Amino acid sequence: MKPQKQIPPMKFFELLLWLDGTPLVNHIEPYRREILNAVLYSFDPDGRLTYNNVLTGRGKKNWKTADMLLAALYRLVAWKTVGGNDVYIVAFDLEQASEALDLLKKIIRINPVLRKALKVTQDAIVRRDGGGSLKIISGQDIYGQHGKTFLFLGVNEVHAQRDYALIEGLQLDPTRPDAVIWFESYDTLFRKPGVPIYDMMVRGKAGTDPRFFFSWYAGDFCSDPSFANIPQPERRANPSMGVPGSGLDMQYIEQQRQRLPNHLFRRLHLNQGGQPTGSAFAAEKIADAIARGVKVRPPVLGINYSAGADMSDGSIDDGVLALGHQDEDKRSVVDLVIDQGCGVPFNPLKTVKLFAATMKEYRVSAVTLDRFALNTFASAFSQHGISATLSELTTHQTYEAFGPKLNSGRVVLLDNDKLENQFLGLVFRGAHIDHMPQEHDDYSAAVARLVNAMGGVEIDLSLLYLGGRRTVDAVKDWTSQRDASQPDDDHPLLSGGRRFYW
């Protein structure tokens, strides 16, 4: 396995075209060439690859996933080895897996030399000579891959993994000295020992592992001396900024700063983990409370539901309704969170009508509101047969009361991006819990108000919600013993023109 037996990666990439038909190497900036060459073509004096473990991190739109996939393609096609050229890419959700495989397929389609060497199937890319394959696997399927041997393993966006459970089964085969594991990711919210990416970053900064290649570009730390002393954190985190055709420039960064919650902007575009200074709730507690994959729980006969809302005049903020129940363990389970169903501005009275109709699907006849506009919305709900109570708590007090329930594991949240990001973005501003300027907390306030109002709800334990924790992505997928005999003309959540009654 001496260097002269292998094709240098840049020689291989010189044979290929990028998606627009131009030479691929024209799209690989110098800093990326250095990374690819160092990882794929650095050798010890005995001919062994210098690195077998890699972590790369930088801001969004800086080609970090593309580089990992190019490295995987190089290892699949060009690397000479006696153990077979099997390559795996681990993606932790279906969207990531689909995007990764789609990009590789597009590269193959535009390159005759790759079409000659490779065959594309529905879920894999296979060498025509039978020498190996590239497969994209879900993080949830890693347990089934124990004992597999591979030439290259790429792990996409490992920042969300808080322990080693999903990656411990795919380790280097000690009999394969040319095998490599490549991790690429943003920084993590969970900066503490035992979190894989945190441990890798500590190891990389310390420089104590000679076979670990650490490449990190972030607003608060940069491993590349060529970028480390640049004064702007945005440029340190985005080494591809200014490359023609990339769309990545300071104007784009400032646009994202205005549009994204602060904690999300920091992680995606500055590659900085953790939470904003003065965060009201711990990221770990929020993550622990989320039932991943569960978007909505349909109403079930025998469960008593409660409602909380955060109303809006329709000009800037969303109006949000949250519905939930208490389970057998007295946990507050959120079943549904919806807004007005359109952007702002919107008609708040139509939103009241939508919320009232949705509450009736869950057999809820009362809702706890914030004190915005005082009795205006209470009166509007009453016209639809819903009684409304104005909370005696301010929004700050609502969050204060919610906090102990969250921290003690007595809250079960839905997997909702807006909800999660709003809870993560809440901070202490002076003595009060609030969102940052130009951000929002409509979802989080509605859910916190619901949880606090849920107190004494009792549940018929013989009639738990369907499937324990069933994922339902749309109300049209609900199935139960409903009487669907009456039509529904204008409920935007229900399809098929039918309203459900018990």
483: burial class by Cβ within 10 Å (0-12, 13-18, 19+)?
A: exposed
Model confidence at 9: pLDDT above 50: yes
Which pLDDT band holds residue 147 (cuts at 50, 70, 90)?
A: low
Q: What's the residue count for the chain?
A: 502
Inform me whether the pLDDT recorded for 326 exceeds 50: yes
Q: What is the Cα–Cα distance from 68 to 36, expressed in whole angstroms?
A: 9
pLDDT band at 502 (very low <50, low <70, confident <90, very high): very low
- 467 pLDDT above the threshold of 50: no
Average pLDDT, the chain: 85
Percent of the chain with pLDDT over 90: 63
**Separation of alpha carbons 459 and 330, rounded Å:** 9
Domain-wise residue ranges, the chain: 3-269, 284-476
Query: Around 441, how many Cα atoms within 13 Å sit in the side-chain half-sphere?
Result: 21
Each as own residue / partner, the long-range contacts of residues 438-442 (CB below 8 Å, 24 or more positions apart, any chain) are 438/258, 439/261, 439/262, 440/317, 440/318, 441/310, 441/395, 442/310, 442/312, 442/317, 442/318, 442/319, 442/320, 442/339
Q: Among 6-20, 140-154, 240-254, which is the least confidently predicted range?
A: 140-154
254 vs 461, which has greater pLDDT?
Answer: 254
pLDDT tens for 395-443 read 999 999 999 999 999 999 999 989 998 998 899 888 899 988 878 999 9
Confidence of residue 125 (pLDDT cuts 50, 70, 90): very high
Give the mean model confidence (pLDDT) for residues 170-182.
89
The pLDDT of 230-257, averaged and rounded, is 91
Predicted pLDDT at 478: 38
- Tell which CATH architecture fits domain 284-476: 2-Layer Sandwich (3.30)
pLDDT > 70 in the chain, percent: 87
Question: What CA–CA distance (Å, rounded) separates 57 from 66?
Answer: 12
Query: What mean pLDDT is predicted for residues 225-236?
Result: 95
3-269, what's its fold? Rossmann fold (3.40.50)
Nearest to 444 by CA among 429, 463, 424, 461: 424
Does the structure show a pLDDT above 90 at 361? yes
Task: Give the mean pLDDT of 33-51.
Answer: 95
Q: What is the mean pLDDT of residues 98-105?
A: 89
The mean pLDDT value for 124-136 works out to 95
Residue 455: band (very low, low, confident or very high) from pLDDT cuts 50, 70, 90: low
How many Å apart are CA 457 and CA 461, to the nearest integer?
12
- Within 8 A by CB and 6+ apart from 412, the residues are 289, 291, 327, 331, 332, 333, 334
The predicted pLDDT at position 173 comes to 86
Structure tokens that stand for 36 in this block: 């690819």
315: tokens are: 């000009």
Let me know: does 173 contact 82? Beta carbons within 8 Å: no
Instruction: Find the mean pLDDT for residues 49-60.
Output: 96
